[in-house]
Chains A and B, each alone.
Chain A
């Protein structure tokens, strides 16, 4: 083979994603021979960090995996430990947890759509270009992210790494006045969220063909478009309890990179907003539903870059659902703070899996406790870790399509593709499956 037939495409550092990652693509004889998403973030070994810590510390430590989805990590940890304790949180507690989670969805989606994804379409390589040339979009982002932060601060005590959420119950319940203030703030941002969706609806996709869809998402409890559940559904037709996640998902370490590759029943799959909307769009409220109906998603399109729009639709839904939850909370008595004796069994030993749908997809936390409530083993599997194999598959598909149609793919378009997954490499490096060591 002559040298001219070999080619390497390298993106040494993908900017505007959380954490540090690079892409390497090798092409031989007109075919993609290797694709590697190389995560070079330092390893932190979270499953080791939590060992020997008490059950009530786990959520605070696990929160540090990732700031932007810290509420999700905290809740997944709490769900796992409450399963071990066979404790069922009260209805008011579940509503507050959902409200906190929606605050995270709003803040994370607003930041990803506006600050990380949009600059590709607005052609603003630097922050001051964005702020000066697109003041409307810049201000929509600020207002929406402030709303997400306000919800999380009211419920969780600060914009991220919440301090108010614990196994059993919250330590403080917001006053009804604080909830009403949130409603005023939600109302003030209502139109901006719709405006953002309209902007996303009008964008031209830089890539016409991406990999065929293969989705996985939690089936939400209840009737609404929720983010908590105990069973996953696959677009290939199977369902499974999250407690079995180690059997339907498998991970392999890839030499030279910190991100392991995860496949579901042997195939790369995508988690996140596109997957959730694929399964549960009929659960959306009126406003988000009507945006969805107008979108290419309702016509069966699955271009990965539409994940940005899918996040926009979820953002609208999260605002309306938050409003609904607050209406329910305003009709209830403020909750009661529980003491450890109210939910901790005499023998705390056991194992449990807690799962939530984070902004970027399904997050699993697994803990095993000893009888005194100290962690014996732990595992965390993050959405970005699960999406890695699918990102590589997507890049392969896009680059090969470019070669077949004789229209080479631009590096910047590949970056747009990777960015659409909203990858969080601060996460992707620390999820790891750990063999239990005695």
Chain B
């Protein structure tokens, strides 16, 4: 890919509200990109940054306050391709799951006092506000996936990213099933692959950090976990931890108690 100026592609790496995990993955793999791109903006890693147009912006974090929203719109306007990186940007991650249980205004008052002037918004993913060209989830993103997405984009090609469940990768590794054999609350059947089935490969339950897989059957997952003896409230909390959107739970027939805040 050549940028509009006929020079090396210009990329930006920016963040909204998150844990800086994607920034770290990108920074740590930068030596592989530097020969092919010009990093014009990366405030986490360099002090001289240019706000001009770029070919690709990698944006991490959720929209969690008005400043984030303004920044997102500014970034969308300057970017040919906007790549949402990480669960926060793609799904909203743990901070969004809390918003499905408690009102953000109540949390603010409980934490910073009744008359706090801090501006907050319920945490949301990027695509609730602007068009997002590529969604690369992960918590943190997988470096191999990140490099292959970038290589595709540098060849003017939109990448294919699979959203099949973690179970697919887990079976290919011939791991024993921790859900069936150990009765662990493994969320692999409803979680998007990409990590290489990290948790079940070490004998632990997948806790859903990549966000939901395509056509995630949350109701069936809840039934299985209930049959294994997990209380429905606990099951729902687990399923919602990493930003799964409310619409995936519409078919559920369970009475859910709201005991937070």
Residues of A within 8 A of B (CB): 13, 15-20, 40-49, 51-54, 57, 60-61, 64-68, 70, 111, 115-116, 119, 125-128, 130-131, 138, 142, 145-146, 149, 157-161, 163-164, 166, 170-172, 253, 255-258, 337, 372, 374, 415, 424, 426, 432, 434-435, 437
Contacts and interface: CB of A to CB of B under 8 A. Distances in A.
B43 A13 contact: yes
Contacts of B129: none
29 contacts: A15-B43, A15-B47, A16-B43, A16-B44, A18-B23, A18-B44, A42-B65, A42-B121, A43-B107, A43-B108, A45-B98, A45-B104, A45-B108, A48-B110, A51-B260, A57-B241, A67-B20, A126-B48, A128-B39, A149-B28, A157-B199, A164-B204, A253-B116, A255-B117, A257-B118, A258-B118, A426-B19, A434-B111, A437-B110
Identify the 6 closest CB pairs spanning chains A and B, nearest first. Answer: A42-B64, A42-B17, A67-B21, A125-B48, A172-B202, A171-B204
Nearest to B202: A172
Interface size class of B (residues with CB under 8 A): 35 or more
Given A16-B44, A426-B19, A111 B27 contact: yes
B198 A157 contact: yes
A48 B102 contact: yes
Interface centre among B20, B34, B43 (most CB of A within 10 A): B20
Interface in B21-55: 21, 23-25, 27-28, 30-31, 34, 38-39, 42-49
Contacts of A170: 202
B19 A65 contact: yes
A158 B65 CA distance: 31
Contacts of A54: 234, 237-238
Contacts of B21: 64, 67, 70, 160-161
Contacts of A158: 140, 195, 198
Interface in B155-209: 195, 198-199, 201-204, 207, 209
B19 A57 contact: no
Interface of B: 15-21, 23-25, 27-28, 30-31, 34, 38-39, 42-49, 61-65, 67-68, 93-95, 97-98, 101-102, 104, 107-108, 110-113, 116-118, 120-121, 123, 139-140, 195, 198-199, 201-204, 207, 209, 231, 233-234, 237-238, 241, 259-261
Contact of B20 (A53, A130, A171, A426): A426
A125 B42 CA distance: 11
Contacts of A40: 65, 67
B234 A171 contact: no
A114 B171 CA distance: 41
Nearest to B196: A158
B99 to A, nearest CB: 9
Contacts of A257: 118
Contacts of A52: 101, 233, 237, 259-260
A126 B237 contact: no
B98 A145 contact: no
Contact of B39 (A53, A70, A126, A432): A126
Given A15-B47, A18-B44, A171-B203, 10 more contacts: A15-B49, A41-B17, A43-B64, A53-B237, A57-B237, A126-B48, A128-B34, A131-B30, A159-B25, A164-B202
B193 to A, nearest CB: 15
